[in-house]
Amino acid sequence: MEADGGSRGNPGPAGYGAVVKDTAGQVLAEAADALGVTTNNVAEYQGLIAGLRSVLALGGEGAAVEVRMDSKLVIEQMAGRWKIKNEGLRPLAREASELAGRLRVTWQWIPRERNRDADRLANEAMDAAAQGRRWQGGLPHAGLTAPPAEPAPPTARPHEAPDAGGPETSTAPGTRGLRTPAATGPGEPRTPAATGPRERPTLAGPPPEAPAGKAAGGSTATASGTGSGWMGPARAATTFLLLRHGETPYSVERRFSGTGDPELTSKGVAQAEAAAARLSRPPYELDVIVSSPLRRAQGTAGAVATRTGLKVTVDDGLREVDFGEWEGHTFTEIQRRWPAELAAWLADPSVAPPGGESFDQAALRVQAAKERLLLDHKGKNVLVVSHVTPIKLLLRFALLAPPAALYRMHLDVASLSTVDHFPDGPELVRSLNDTAHLR
């Protein structure tokens, strides 16, 4: 990732630019914007922030990136070798550090002539602002060409700490103008609109982009639609409403939060109440509430129970992954203290943190919990209050997705996802990371 910023007057009309490339030099994304009147250093930090957000949007948590800038000041300050004496830069440096803490960053100063792409973007943004318009980008390939034949190996983690929030789309602050492929058209919502848990769409056949006789992912659809995902059975589904617990001190600080038992913050309690208010109204009509045994989940489930008059049942299979010796540490701390163990864990879901539990082990536990719930609550609406990893696993199972899919999902605190389980086999994911009740 290369970033730059400039100010015509210092202070004066300013702008930033950032470009993300793969190791072959192919441009993956660009970001740029004007900043009004400010200094060179502020613009350079804004370029860095926009670039780091772009990397997170593309690669996810834990992605490896070399950050290149021709600002010696920014590089040395971010690397921790120079102190930040300017009070105006400290909030920007703090924001950049928080973003960098969610990635595996190496810092590299480069001479100005090697930073031409980011410099060009910053100047394009300033030129556009001078003409009374917004920067729209200039490369004909719009940031990304066709998807690569083989996806890059996942480096993000589905643990709770860095997954507590953060930018996921090009509309996030600091990434205005980021050009990456979009699953929806401009202006469409990031999460689907909620529908009643009993509703289910049925299609007469595959959508136009899917070959006839094939379901998503290339599996062959049967005449009845069983197992295909395109046509569902008529019998009533068992609906899982998957609610992640509210905010905790660990999620605020982006620390690994597994079987440790922090309570909800005051904001987390408010988030739980907001979810409870939503789930206590039609069309949800909950029949059952099942929770992880950990306090942050039980506190969230209790808020819904109070609103609905239902009791909370605890299932130990829904607890978060045990992160062992990594519990309570940030990703950066773990990277420094356990570099070899972290690399092995990121590369292989069968590898466990020191003294902890692997994702493969967690998958067996969550699968068993799922089967118990389906057996005990056929045809009912079941609120499952749990954590990042168990919820992602339940979504992965429903999608028939490989383990790497865990690294391609994001779940905010107190978010809601929905899965229908039909008696003759098919499962249908109907929403993911829905946070409408928190707005």
- The residue behind tokens 């609905």 is 308
Among residues 179, 184, 171, 161, which one has the least CA distance to residue 61? 161
Catalytic residue among 30, 159, 245, 329: 245
Question: Could you give the maximum distance between any two Cα atoms of the chain, in Å?
Answer: 70
Please say if 141 is a catalytic residue: no
> Do residues 38 and 126 make contact, with C-beta atoms less than 8 angstroms apart?
no
The alpha-carbon radius of gyration of the chain (Å, integer) is 23
DSSP string, 137-174: ---TTTT--SPPSSPPPP----SSSGGGS---STTSTT
DSSP 8-state code for residue 194: P
DSSP string, 14-57: EEEEEEEE-TT--EEEEEEEEEEEE-HHHHHHHHHHHHHHHHHH
Please say if 320 is a catalytic residue: yes
Q: Using CA atoms, how far apart are residues 250 and 255, in angstroms rounded to an integer?
A: 5
Distant-in-sequence, close-in-space partners of 241: CB < 8 Å, separation ≥ 6: 197, 279, 284, 286, 381, 382, 383, 384, 416, 417, 418
Q: Using CA atoms, how far apart are residues 245 and 106, in angstroms rounded to an integer?
A: 34
Tokens coding 251: 């999620």
Write phi, then psi, for 29 (nearest 5 degrees): -160, 155
Catalytic residue among 30, 44, 124, 320: 320
> Do residues 274 and 416 make contact, with C-beta atoms less than 8 angstroms apart?
no
Q: Using CA atoms, how far apart are residues 359 and 389, in angstroms rounded to an integer?
A: 8
Pairing assessment for the beta strands 416-421 and 427-434 based on DSSP bridges: antiparallel
3-state secondary structure of 365: helix
Catalytic residues: 245, 320
